[in-house]
Every structure is written in C-alpha cells, then in structure tokens.
C-alpha cells in the first residue's frame, strides 16, 4: 500500500504532462488552421465571412427579413443577397443605408446607370455592397435587396475597413503560440540551471492552466456570436493583444532560470525585482490578461468575453495568490516589503 501511495503523485504528474502535451499539439493545429483561414481571406473573403459581417444583418427599423440567397460555389461572380420588405418609402430606405454604411467606414455613392435614386453602391477594401429597390415595390410596401460581394473595386483599396476576422484570429493565436514557444524553452533551460524543487503548489489553479488552448479554439473557429463594434476598437484590441504578449515574454526572459509553468520554488530561488518586476509583482499574468482582454475587444466574441471574465481572469488570480503564498514562505519579510512597494497585477494597486 505504501508503494502504491508513492506512485500516485508520479501518475498525477504524468497525467499533467500528457494533458499539457495534448494542449500544445492542439494549439499548433489551431495555429495552422487560423493561418490557412487568414491566407484564404487574404485572397478574397468567403461568403461565410461576408454573412457574419454586421452589414449582412443591417436593416432599417420595421424591416422584415424575407430570404437570403447565395451564388453557386462554382460560379464566377460570388454574392450574398438578402431580401427585405418594409412599410417605409424607398428613398428613406436608401437614406438609412447611406448613412449607416458611411458611418461604418464604407465609401458610398449613387450610380448613374441604370436607375438613378433606386440604388446605392458601397465599397471598402476588398468587399462591395449594393442596396437596390425591387421594381415590384408598391406604395404600401418597399421591397429591397442588400447584396454583399467579395470584389476588389477600383479606388476602394484606399478605403480602410476593419481588420478581417480571419486576420484577427490569426494574430491572436500566433501571439500566444509565440509566447508558449518562448515559455517552454525558458522552462527547459531554467530546470537545467536551478536547484531542486523545495515546494510545489497543487490545486485547481494549477490544473486549470492545462486548458490554456480553449480560448484560442473559440477564436480560430469563431464559436459563439460576435458583437458589432466601431472599427477603431478592433485595432485597439489588436494592439493590446500584441502588447500584452510582448510584456509577458519580456517578464519570462527577465525571470530567467526561475521561470516555470508549474507553481513552485526551488533551493536557490531568488526574488527578481528588475525589468517588468519593478512595475508589478506578476507581470507574466498582467501581460496575458492584457492579451486576452485585447482579444475580446478585437474579436468581440461573446463566448470569449464570458470565458475570459468568468474563467481565465479568476484562474490567473488564483495562480497569483498561490504563488504569493509560496514566495512569502520562501522570502518572508523581504517579500512583504516588495509587496508594499509594487502592485500585484496593476502598477500602484
């Protein structure tokens, strides 16, 4: 029985290693999937991508959705056509779309041929949008169509639209993949250069980190609904995504041989207070939190937002508290003084 009890921790650790390895493999697969999606999107947006644009569901108040049509997959001209009906005059329908499309960054104009005033055309980057009134419109009911198409229109290349969802997903996944590569190399090098482990913290916070791949699966596959946000917020979210990972990587490199993915202290553990550690006591978690919050803003994925706020950030906090206990036991008054001078996750807080 004693021999069996001594084997249990090794079996648990082996399970942790297996789960971590599977997570890394899954992250690599997600990375290549997002790379492929971004590469295809770089040629032309797919109809599925167009269908998820907010413009695909943009309609004046009171408009009734009738049906949606798609071009044949083998056809030359690809389009997504949405048919609506509304009990408002045609000119007000066109005015609504002109105002909203310009507001959302589209270049909009009224074409001269073939029917002035019955159609507006917009373009942005590599996408085009047309809103035209059905000739069958009556005085009581306006019938109209919204057509989205993946076209590179002359003169629209300079009209900057929001970053494509595929590009956003690739940047988010690629940033974290780079972090994991750096973290694994730092972990292996650190274990070869430091003393034996004195104490390790086990528990929910330690095991929850094994599911690091989950947010990136949501991002790459675009699971869950997405909110409609201003264009500038998506660019700002991408900035936070990249900056957060850069900050976390800098913290890993400064920590050097003391860095590990597991919660532990070792025989020759030192209290590092240089670089990012002069700003916050746990800059790796601060950087990762900024990265995930930036990903939430850039993707506006409701499932990612919920997972970040309800699972990821609380997990970071639990891991920080566990590390705090280990470090206070290891360094005592020295760590207490450090904690009084430097914030835990936010500078000066």
Q: 318 and 332 share a domain?
A: yes
Q: 226 and 84 share a domain?
A: no
The answer as to whether 88 is a domain residue is yes
Report the CATH number at residue 307: 1.20.120.1630
Tally of domains within the chain: 2
How many Å apart are CA 78 and CA 286, to the nearest integer?
A: 44
Q: 177 and 279 share a domain?
A: yes
Burial call 38-66: b when 16+ CB within 10 Å, e when fewer: beebeebbebebbeebebbebbbeebeee
Domain that includes residue 29, residue range: 11-42+164-341
Q: Which of 149, 172, 195 is the last residue of a domain?
A: 149
Q: Tell how far CA 148 is from the center of its chain.
A: 25
Q: 170 and 299 share a domain?
A: yes
Report the CATH number at residue 142: 3.30.310
Q: 56 and 15 share a domain?
A: no
Q: 201 and 77 share a domain?
A: no
pLDDT tens-place string over residues 258-280: 887 777 777 778 888 888 999 99
The answer as to whether 348 is a domain residue is no
Q: Which of 94, 119, 149 is the last residue of a domain?
A: 149
Q: Which of 126, 149, 172 is the last residue of a domain?
A: 149
Can you give the C-alpha Rg of the chain in angstroms? 26
pLDDT tens-place string over residues 281-312: 999 999 999 999 999 999 989 999 999 999 99
The answer as to whether 76 is a domain residue is yes
Q: Enter the pTM of the model.
A: 0.76
Which of 134-143, 165-174, 202-211 is least confident?
202-211
Q: 223 and 328 share a domain?
A: yes
Q: 186 and 130 share a domain?
A: no
The answer as to whether 159 is a domain residue is no
Is the per-residue pLDDT at 156 higher than 70? Answer: no
How many CB atoms lie under 10 A from the CB of residue 84? 21
Q: 175 and 214 share a domain?
A: yes
């Amino acid at each position: 029985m004693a021999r069996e009890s001594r084997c249990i921790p090794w079996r648990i650790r082996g399970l942790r290693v297996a789960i971590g390895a599977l997570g890394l493999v899954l992250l690599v697969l997600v990375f290549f999937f997002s790379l492929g999606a971004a590469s295809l999107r770089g040629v032309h947006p797919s109809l599925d991508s167009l269908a998820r644009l907010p413009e695909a569901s943009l309609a004046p108040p009171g408009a009734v959705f009738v049906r949606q049509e798609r071009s044949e997959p083998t056809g030359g001209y690809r389009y997504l056509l949405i048919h609506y009906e509304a009990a408002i005059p045609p000119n007000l329908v066109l005015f609504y779309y002109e105002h909203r499309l310009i507001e959302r960054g589209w270049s909009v104009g009224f074409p001269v041929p073939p029917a002035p005033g019955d159609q507006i055309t917009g373009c942005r980057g590599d996408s085009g949008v047309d809103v035209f009134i059905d000739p069958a419109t009556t005085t009581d009911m306006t019938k109209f169509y919204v057509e989205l198409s993946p076209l590179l229109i002359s003169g629209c290349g300079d009209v900057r639209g929001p970053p494509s969802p595929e590009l956003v997903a690739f940047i988010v996944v690629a940033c974290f993949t780079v972090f994991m590569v750096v973290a694994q190399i730092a972990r292996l090098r650190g274990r070869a250069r430091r003393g034996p482990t004195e104490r390790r913290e086990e528990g929910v916070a330690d095991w929850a980190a094994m599911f690091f791949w989950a947010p990136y699966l949501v991002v790459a596959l675009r699971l869950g609904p997405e909110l409609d946000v201003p264009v500038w917020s998506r660019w700002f979210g991408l900035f936070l995504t990249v900056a957060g990972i850069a900050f976390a990587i800098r913290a890993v490199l400064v920590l050097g041989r003391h860095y590990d993915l597991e919660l532990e202290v070792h025989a020759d553990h030192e209290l590092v207070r240089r670089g990012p550690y002069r700003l916050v006591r746990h800059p790796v978690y601060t950087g990762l939190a900024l990265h995930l919050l930036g990903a939430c803003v850039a993707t506006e994925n409701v499932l990612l937002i919920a997972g970040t706020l309800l699972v990821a950030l609380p997990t970071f906090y639990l891991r920080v508290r566990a590390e705090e206990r280990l470090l206070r036991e290891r360094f005592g008054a020295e760590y207490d003084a450090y904690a009084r001078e430097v914030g835990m996750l936010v500078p000066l807080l």
